[in-house]
Chains A and B, each alone.
Chain A
Amino acid sequence: MSLVLPGQHVAAQHVNLKLGPGLLQTSGDASTSAPPIIATRAGTLNHNPNGSKWWVENNSRRYVPAAQESVVGVIIQKAGEGFRVDIGSAQAASLDGLAFESATKRNKPNLKIGSLVYARVSLAHKDMEPELECFDAQTRKSEGFGELKGGFMVRCSSAMCRQLLDSKHFLLPMLGARFPLETAIGVNGRVWVNAKDVREVIGIARCIEAVDPDVGGTDEAGIANLLRNLGL
């Protein structure tokens, strides 16, 4: 693991190289065999054990959409056939009314302005507005995407979202062992949570806030303590 700055060359080489977020392959000159790879943002450089996948990890509150990422968005406008959705990026994303499970021309989902949706970014191009979809394009099944009803939306840093998505992270299993809960984690710094009781939802929200490396970075023992104080 090493730190990289934007513009810095990264010595990533593999026959089947895959670049993740924060890395860019430049055209380079013909004299060198492999085109140079540069970092496009500051952060820690990571790669998988065999060196085929490389990416840069950093923490921020700004969200830059990338294809195939799950996000939590707020409907801000109904636009013709679809919706405009705020996903925290510089531009609002568009969500087609037909991009839902079992949606047809006649039977489109009726989402109100202000509703929350869990969606996948289907198109992210720097010169175009991002597009979302609420189903798997191959199977046309919802796969957990769609409108989020009830519950509460917690805002956190992007590093926190990635930690929550990591199945080895302690927080969600720890909370799940105490009471049943539902979550939808968007990598855009928004996490939707729901539980039976209001106290439990507040508890989850406060735990996420406390664990967020941007704010407190509380560890497992600290969270156990916090939960005990909350009476959960």
Chain B
Amino acid sequence: MRPPSPSIPEKEFLFTALKQSLRLDGREPLELRPPVLSFGPELGWVECALGKTRVIAHVDAKMVKPPPERPFEGIITIHSEISPMASSEYEIGRPSEEEITITRMLDKVLKRSDAVDKESLCILAGQRVWHLRLTLHCLADAGNMLDCACLAGIVALKHFRRPDVEVIGDEVTIHPPSERAPVPLSMHHTPFCLTFAFFPDSETSPVLDPSQLEQRLSAGLMSVALNAQRELCVVQKLGGVPLSLDEVLRIVNVAVLKAKELDQLVDTRLKEDWLGRNVELI
């Protein structure tokens, strides 16, 4: 059963509070909930939490024969599981518009933005390539699950290391982690997704990283995916209130700053985790 839409007092209160630039959780309008990244014992297992929104991302790799039309490229598939576990809004087998948007956006941000160098996943042209499978489990949705899932996915890809392989002639040898240190994936860049919510009243300023209530009462969402090098990957705005050009540019500029902060945070967290790990080299 889908939960009923927020009650009238909730709606009116949220709008009056936002008009005074006050948010229910005490954040500034353009403030992100601090992301918490925790890594599992395996490489490529990441749990990302934005407030109470939590997503687990997990990467594994196997060797497959590439499709004949792309013999030099590895394959990346994204499996996103949005189950009723995250929120009673989601149902099994009947994806809502929102779920489809999340899935498509994940595909755009993580795969089509060419974050991972697919050609480096080729082992033997036309014979053997790596197939990366990224699984995203949405554990809890307290708003803005898309950004959380994108962050979890990209960090998992950065955290993952695949076994080293050696090719002599036509023979492929895989070195287990105990023999040779696994190698990180070669990444072109690190895109981050940032979602802004707009409200029907034009005087209300947009908010970054909407909470569940804000998201449900918003008149429209705009998601911007970009990397710390100011390269815009995806801009998504499906319907909602019309925005002026200045407004969009202002939002993109805010997103640039936030992406730089996120990039730093991810790098520090990955470094900390890597130092804490004992990688045995024999």
Q: A residues within 8 Å of B by Cβ?
A: 74, 76, 86, 112, 114-116, 148-153, 192, 198-199, 201-202, 205-206, 230
> In the assembled complex, which residues on chain A have CB atoms less than 8 Å from the CB atom of B12?
150
Contact mask B12-36 → A, CB, 8 Å, 1/0?
A: 1100110010111110000000000
Q: Nearest Cβ distance between residue B14 and chain A, in whole angstroms?
A: 8
- Between A and B, 28 residue pairs with Cβ closer than 8 Å are A74-B4, A74-B7, A86-B3, A112-B8, A114-B4, A114-B7, A115-B8, A115-B9, A116-B7, A148-B9, A149-B9, A150-B9, A150-B12, A150-B13, A152-B9, A152-B13, A153-B7, A153-B9, A198-B20, A198-B22, A201-B13, A201-B17, A202-B22, A202-B23, A202-B24, A202-B26, A206-B26, A230-B26
> In the assembled complex, which residues on chain A have CB atoms less than 8 Å from the CB atom of B13?
150-152, 198, 201
B10 at the interface (CB under 8 A from A): yes
Q: Nearest Cβ distance between residue A111 and chain B, in whole angstroms?
A: 10
Using a Cβ cutoff of 8 Å, how many contacts connect chains A and B? Answer: 50
CB-based nearest A residue for B7: A74
Interface residues of B in 260-282 (CB under 8 A from A): none
Q: B residues within 8 Å of A by Cβ?
A: 3-13, 16-17, 20, 22-26
> In the assembled complex, which residues on chain A have CB atoms less than 8 Å from the CB atom of B6?
114
Expressed in whole angstroms, the Cα–Cα distance for A192 and B9 within the complex equals 9
Expressed in whole angstroms, the Cα–Cα distance for A105 and B13 within the complex equals 33
Q: 5 closest Cβ contacts across the A-B interface?
A: A152-B13, A114-B8, A74-B7, A76-B4, A198-B17
Q: Would you call B25 and A206 a contact (CB within 8 A)?
A: yes
Q: Nearest Cβ distance between residue A58 and chain B, in whole angstroms?
A: 21
> In the assembled complex, which residues on chain A have CB atoms less than 8 Å from the CB atom of B23?
202
Q: Chain B interface secondary structure, helix, strand, loop or mixed?
A: loop
Q: Would you call B10 and A153 a contact (CB within 8 A)?
A: yes
> In the assembled complex, which residues on chain A have CB atoms less than 8 Å from the CB atom of B20?
198
Expressed in whole angstroms, the Cα–Cα distance for A227 and B24 within the complex equals 14
Expressed in whole angstroms, the Cα–Cα distance for A174 and B272 within the complex equals 42
CB-based nearest A residue for B17: A198
Q: Nearest Cβ distance between residue B197 and chain A, in whole angstroms?
A: 18
Given pairs A112-B8, A153-B9, 9 additional interface contacts (CB within 8 A)? A86-B3, A114-B5, A116-B8, A148-B9, A150-B9, A153-B7, A201-B17, A206-B26, A230-B26
Expressed in whole angstroms, the Cα–Cα distance for A150 and B122 within the complex equals 62
Q: Would you call A86 and B4 a contact (CB within 8 A)?
A: yes
> In the assembled complex, which residues on chain B have CB atoms less than 8 Å from the CB atom of A199?
22
Expressed in whole angstroms, the Cα–Cα distance for A201 and B17 within the complex equals 10
Expressed in whole angstroms, the Cα–Cα distance for A76 and B26 within the complex equals 30
Q: Nearest Cβ distance between residue A72 and chain B, in whole angstroms?
A: 9
Q: Pick from B3, B10, B25: contact of A152, CB below 8 A.
A: B10
> In the assembled complex, which residues on chain A have CB atoms less than 8 Å from the CB atom of B10?
152-153
Q: Nearest Cβ distance between residue B170 and chain A, in whole angstroms?
A: 59
> In the assembled complex, which residues on chain B have CB atoms less than 8 Å from the CB atom of A205?
24
Expressed in whole angstroms, the Cα–Cα distance for A150 and B9 within the complex equals 5
> In the assembled complex, which residues on chain B have CB atoms less than 8 Å from the CB atom of A202?
17, 22-24, 26
> In the assembled complex, which residues on chain B have CB atoms less than 8 Å from the CB atom of A201?
13, 17
CB-based nearest B residue for A215: B52
> In the assembled complex, which residues on chain B have CB atoms less than 8 Å from the CB atom of A86?
3-4
> In the assembled complex, which residues on chain B have CB atoms less than 8 Å from the CB atom of A74?
4, 7
> In the assembled complex, which residues on chain B have CB atoms less than 8 Å from the CB atom of A151?
9, 13
> In the assembled complex, which residues on chain A have CB atoms less than 8 Å from the CB atom of B22?
198-199, 202
> In the assembled complex, which residues on chain B have CB atoms less than 8 Å from the CB atom of A230?
26
Expressed in whole angstroms, the Cα–Cα distance for A202 and B26 within the complex equals 8
CB-based nearest A residue for B26: A206
CB-based nearest A residue for B1: A90
Q: Nearest Cβ distance between residue A135 and chain B, in whole angstroms?
A: 21
Expressed in whole angstroms, the Cα–Cα distance for A86 and B10 within the complex equals 15
Expressed in whole angstroms, the Cα–Cα distance for A50 and B53 within the complex equals 46
Q: Pick from A76, A116, A206: contact of B9, CB below 8 A.
A: A116
Q: Nearest Cβ distance between residue A182 and chain B, in whole angstroms?
A: 12
Q: Nearest Cβ distance between residue A125 and chain B, in whole angstroms?
A: 20
Q: Would you call A115 and B7 a contact (CB within 8 A)?
A: yes
